[in-house]
Structure formats: C-alpha cells, structure tokens
Structure 1
Amino acid sequence: MSQLTVLVADDDPNVCEIIRLFFTENNYRVIEANCGREALSLYESTNPDVILLDIMMPDIDGYEVCRQIRSKTDVPIIMLSAKGEEIDRILGLEIGADDYVTKPFSPREIIARIKAIFRRLPDKNSNEVTSDQQIYQFVNFSIHVKSRQVLVKEEKLFLRPKEFDLLLYLVQNINTVLTRDQLLERVWGIDFGGDIRTVDVHIKRIRTEFAKHEIHCIHTVWGVGYQFQNKN
C-alpha cells in the first residue's frame, strides 16, 4: 500500500502525539486538527485518504464533522471516543462512519482497521466486477455493477460504497435468507472489528432510499437475517 495521508482530529494532544509517532513510523503521513472547524478546513485543503475523528471536540463535535464530510465524499472515517455505549456506536455508523474505536486504544489496532477498510474498497483501477452479470434489471429499478449505480426511472439512488456492496450481495443471492454474520463476513470481511449491528444500520439506509420510490425489496426474516425479493 502506498503512503496514505491520515487526518487525525482530536483535542487531546497526547492522543495526537501517540498516533503521529506510531503512524509516521509505519509510513503514514499524519495531519492534525485540534477542533471540529480545523478538521473541516484541513479536510478541504489536504484531501486525506482516511480520517480519525474524535467525537468530543470543541466548537463542532465529531458527529457533525462526520455528517458534513460524508455529505461530500466517501473517504473512510473511523470514529474515536471514550464512550463505549452501543447507542454511540450506532449513531456514528448511522451518520456514515466506517468504523468505531473506543478509547483507550492501540495505534496498532487502528492501523489494522485502516488496512481492513482499504482491502474492502473496490480497486478504482480495476475493470473487474463482482459478478459475471453487469446489470441486474428489475421492474422498478436496475443495478449497474460496473458503474456501481442503482437507478430508479433514470434517477440515481444515493448509496455509499458499503451500502451498494451489501445490496449487490443480497441481489446475487435473491430469495435466500442471509444471516447478519454471513453478510458481515462477506461484505465487511472476516477481519472486521465492528459491531454486528452495522448490518442493520446499512440495511436501514438502503431501505430509506428505496422507500422514497415506494420500493420494498429487502425483507427481515425475524430471528435469522435478511432476504432480497424481486417484488414490492
């Protein structure tokens, strides 16, 4: 992996120093922000490859910074927080974070999670698709694998990369009930260290986009998992 630029946004100078020293030794370029506004400004000026974002920061908290950045880009975001409650993790995922790490943490663990995220991202230089079939055509919408688009009457749905991957895997296993563990392993990878509720959060986002067009194709099988069906 070539050198990556990491934006670290945390108002604790000790945390920034630990990350900077360890990451620099491991061939990462580190840029530091000590508050939310500075994080947003540095994001615009440096175009980092990944963002480590503390939740509790002066002026603008990490949740709002994540919302604003996610509205513009799919850059990987890992939330950092002393909070370990499930609701905090779920909120971070719902607003677009890719992962969530609770303090105190090991810098080595964060690097492992960054590597895991980039292994799961599609290769932008590759023409390879995840299936021999490049377009899935249904009555109300179509999925274009190569361009990674979902179209409803020529209108493109807004799906983040992992949401598209999850939808595609469900479609490729149409009418099959898939457990959360199966979806987590196939879409996020066996080395994913996040919460299994990640699947539920992403399913909710996909359903929200489809519901705008009164399409209901992903069904919950209670006590088991989820199933894609080609019907409303």
Structure 2
Amino acid sequence: MSDLNARTSTATPALVLIAEDEAEIADILIAYLRRSGLHTQHASDGQQALSLHQTLKPDLLLLDVQMPVLDGWKVLSEIRSRDNTPVIMLTALDQDIDKLMGLRLGADDYVVKPFNPAEVVARVQAVLRRTLSSAPAATQMLRVGAFRIDLDSHEASVFREGQQHTLDLTLTEFKLLACLMRAPKRAFSRTELLENCLPEGDTQERTVDSHVSKLRKKLEALDVQGVPNSVWGVGYRFGVES
C-alpha cells in the first residue's frame, strides 16, 4: 500500500483545491480527482483561491496561471510567503521561461494544457506521496463533505455558501461530531457514543439524545440538515455523503 493510500484509508482523504476559471476544465478535474478518492474544492479566480487556501488549508493546490482578479503567479507568490502547500501549475503556455518562473516561485510541478486528466491525477498523487511522506507529524485533521475538524487545536468548522464557519461546540458535542466523522457511514449505538464521548458519570443513554439534539440545532442554524442522522433502533450516524 502506498503512503498516500495508507493515509487516506486510516485518516481522511487529501483535499485538493482547484483554482481554474474555465468551468468545463474544473468540472473534469473534480470528477477525476473524486473518482480517485480525493476531496476537492473549486476557486474560479485568484482572490478566491487565496481565501479558500487560507480557510481550508488544502493538502495540494492545482493552480491555473491565467486566472482573473489575481493571476497564478501572484497567487503562488502569496502562498509561498506563508506556507509550503504543494502547488501544481496549470497553463496553456508551453514556454521554458514560464516553467522556470513557476519553479523559481516555488511550484512543485507544471502541467501544460491541453492535458490528459488522468495524467493530472497521477501528478497530484505523486506530489502528495512525496510531500506527505516527508512531512513531520501531520496535524490530525478530519474532513467529511463540508465539515472539517482539527483535533490538535480542537476546532470544528463547516463550509457553507463560500464561507468557512467555525462551530461553537461544547466538549461533548465536539467529541460526538469527531466520533461520527471518523466513520461517517457507520451507525453508532447510543452505548458506544456514551462510552466514547460523554464525561464519566453520564450513564443514561437518553443523555446522548440530548447532546445530539443540541448539536443538530447548532448545525441547522447554518442550514445543515440531518447531521447527525438518526438510525432507527440503533443510534446515530454522521448523516452526509463523504
């Protein structure tokens, strides 16, 4: 099993931010990357790419050079001033000077349009294998759909309508959400959630229902429906597609 596969099977799939203003190209890349088991988010201009990079902290950025508002070179330069997120440049230009520009600014790879989407996926996986395997102990991060939990900083957030919303959760609510996100398709019994998420002394299964209800109301306030999802006769599962 490769380093990348080992990471995605035991933790959470890598998140790839696609900065591409041509919707058709972006849709193709999203489809191919998701088919390979990766999560994606899309930015349609350079400013949005910087904003999403700051809030989502993706594992890799696919960055088109000829972007509106801010071009790819400016986006890459700004990102390199603050961190080392792997970046693969996408461009219609096939000039050595452009390749050298990208490498000089800190790009990790370079793909020229028109490209084979399967080749882009292979490049993405190769860069992720290299960077994830050589990185120091990674931040423990859970991502499911629009949800993101940083287990190190104890922060939970959800991405809605182009914005990242930090969730104001109690410790028990945070533990419940994290437990469900670790296995989003699994139905957890109330007993399991009681043992794993609630403080010692809470021994009543109905206490789980109370905490789940409060968590659900906080998410509904952000127009997130059905999380956590009730499973009749069992308990709860996370409730959205991963």
TM-score range, shorter chain: 0.5 to 0.7
Q: Is 2:36 aligned against 1:22?
A: no
Aligned residue for 1:124? 136
CA distance in 2, matches of 1:38, 1:118: 23
Tell me how large the CA RMSD over aligned residues is.
1.4
Instruction: Name the counterpart of 1:157.
Output: none
Instruction: Determine whether 1:87 maps to 2:105.
Output: no
Q: Provide structure 1 residue ranges, at least 5 long, that are not aligned to the other structure.
A: 127-232
Per-residue deviation, 1:125: 3.7
Letter matched to residue 124 of structure 2: I
Q: Is 1:108 equivalent to 2:118 in the alignment?
A: yes
Name the residue aligned to 2:233. none
Q: CA deviation at 1:25?
A: 1.2
Give the partner amino acid of 2:42: E
Aligned to 2:57: 47
| 1: CA distance, partners of 2:135 / 2:91 | 30
Superposition pairs of residues 100-179 of structure 1, within 5 angstroms: 100-121=110-131, 122-125=134-137
Aligned identity (percent) is 39
Runs of 4+ displaced beyond 6 Å: none
Q: Which amino acid aligns with 1:27?
A: G
* Structure possessing the higher radius of gyration over alpha carbons: 2
Question: Hey, what's the Cα distance between the residues in 2 that align with 1:30 and 1:92?
Answer: 23
- Deviation of residue 124 (structure 1)? 2.4
The within-5 A match list for 1:41-80 is 41-80=51-90
Alignment match of 1:36 (pick from 31, 42, 46): 46
2:104 counterpart letter in structure 1: E
For these two proteins, the number of residue pairs brought into alignment is 126
Separation (CA, whole Å) in 2 of partners of 1:114 and 1:22: 11
Distance in 2, matches of 1:114 and 1:17, equals 16
Equivalent position SS for 1:48: coil
Report the residue type matching 1:110 in the other structure. Answer: V
> 1:62 is aligned with what amino acid?
G
Q: Deviations over 1:79-116 (max 9, x none)?
A: 00000000001001100100000001112111211222
Q: Is the 8 A contact 2:59 2:128 kept in 1?
A: no
Give distance in 2, aligned partners of 1:113 and 1:34: 21
